[in-house]
């Protein structure tokens, strides 16, 4: 290993041919050699200690680690959809409170539509999905919210408060099912 990494002699041949092919300057090869040789020295002195400590650390982490690293695909998608409905609800409220312009709201809802339009088809197909009855109930709650996202009520005269409630309900239902 040391020889191949290029200290000198016949073992240095592979690295010398490689650097010659890449047209690396000899002084650079010398410097690279020095760095590699130094690192190799340190590794030889410390390798056993490093490996033992690393193995012990991994064992301790695995034994002590009760936190799941990632969610199931269903929980992940439900969580993202919940957040998107929450954002849609906040956007609608802010638009009617005069905190954002109608153009801003329209633009935002175009993005929410892109994110959520295929939810009824893709969510049930994810791994980790609950049983069919729960899914049916969930999609029943989500359906009016999807309509609200597709046709948001940005004028004061229409039933925007109903849409806000529908979006909040969908967000809450999806968050609950993603956490269970």
Partner 1 sequence: MKQWLSLALGIMTATGGFLDAATIASAAQAGAQFGFGLIWAVLLATGALILLVEMAGRFTAVSEKTYADAIREHFGFKLYLIPLSAEIIAESLLLTAELGGIAIAISLFTGINWHFLFPVAALLVWLLVWRAPFSFIENAPATLGLLTIFFLVGIGLLGGPPHALWPTLWHPDIPQGQMATYLYLVAATLGATISPYLLFFYSSGAREEHWTWRSLALNRATAFIGMGFGCLGSIALVVLGGIVLRPLNITAGTLGEVGLAMARPMGIFGSLIFATVLFSTCLGAALEVVLAISYNIAQGFGWEWSEDKKPVEAARFNVTLTVFLLIALGIGLLGMDPLQIALLASTVIALFLPFSLAPFLIIMNDRTYLGTKTNGRFANIAMIFVLMLAFVVAIVSIPLLILSGGG
Residue 157 binds partner 1, judged by CB under 8 A: no
Give CA–CA dist 112/107, Å, rounded.
9
Residue 103 binds partner 1, judged by CB under 8 A: yes
The binder of partner 1 chosen from 50, 54, 110, 125 (CB under 8 A):
110
Query: Token pair 């890449």 is at which residue?
Result: 22
Residue 99 binds partner 1, judged by CB under 8 A: yes
CB 92 within 8 A of CB 152: yes
> Please, what sign has the CA dihedral across residues 106, 109, 114, 119?
negative
Shortest Å, Cβ 119 to partner 1: 13
Would you call 16 helix, strand, or coil by DSSP? helix
Shortest Å, Cβ 62 to partner 1: 14
Q: Smallest Cα–Cα separation from 147: which of 136, 162, 129?
A: 162
| Phi, psi of 127, deg, nearest 5 | -70, 140
Residue 71 binds partner 1, judged by CB under 8 A: yes
Q: Which stretch binds partner 1 (CB under 8 A): 5-13, 83-91, 143-151, 155-163?
A: 83-91
Name which of 20 and 140 has its Cβ closer to partner 1.
20
Give CA–CA dist 63/180, Å, rounded.
24
Q: Smallest Cα–Cα separation from 140: which of 170, 178, 176?
A: 170
Q: Which stretch binds partner 1 (CB under 8 A): 52-60, 89-97, 129-137, 142-150?
A: 89-97
Residues of this chain, 28-57, that bind partner 1 according to CB under 8 A: 28, 31-32
Name which of 71 and 144 has its Cβ closer to partner 1.
71
Count of residues that bind partner 1 according to CB under 8 A: 44
CB 9 within 8 A of CB 3: yes
Which positions touch partner 1 (CB under 8 A)? Answer: 21-25, 28, 31-32, 67-71, 73, 75-77, 79-80, 82-84, 86-87, 90-91, 94, 98-104, 106-108, 110-112, 114-115, 171, 175
């Amino acid at each position: 290993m040391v020889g191949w990494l290029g200290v000198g002699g016949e073992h240095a041949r592979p690295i010398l041919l490689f650097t010659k092919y890449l047209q690396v300057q000899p002084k650079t090869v010398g410097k690279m050699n020095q760095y590699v040789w130094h690192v190799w020295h340190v590794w030889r002195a410390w390798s056993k200690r490093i490996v033992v400590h690393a193995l012990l650390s991994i064992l301790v982490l695995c034994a002590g680690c009760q936190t799941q690293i990632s969610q199931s695909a269903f929980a992940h998608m439900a969580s993202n959809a919940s957040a998107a409905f929450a954002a849609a609800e906040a956007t609608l409220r802010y638009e009617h409170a005069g905190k954002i312009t109608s153009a801003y709201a329209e633009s935002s809802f175009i993005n929410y539509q892109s994110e959520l339009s295929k939810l009824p088809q893709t969510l049930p197909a994810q791994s980790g999905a609950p049983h069919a009855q729960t899914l049916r109930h969930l999609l029943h709650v989500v359906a009016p919210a999807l309509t609200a996202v597709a046709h948001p009520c940005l004028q004061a005269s229409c039933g925007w408060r109903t849409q806000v409630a529908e979006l909040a309900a969908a967000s809450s239902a999806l968050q609950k099912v993603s956490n269970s």
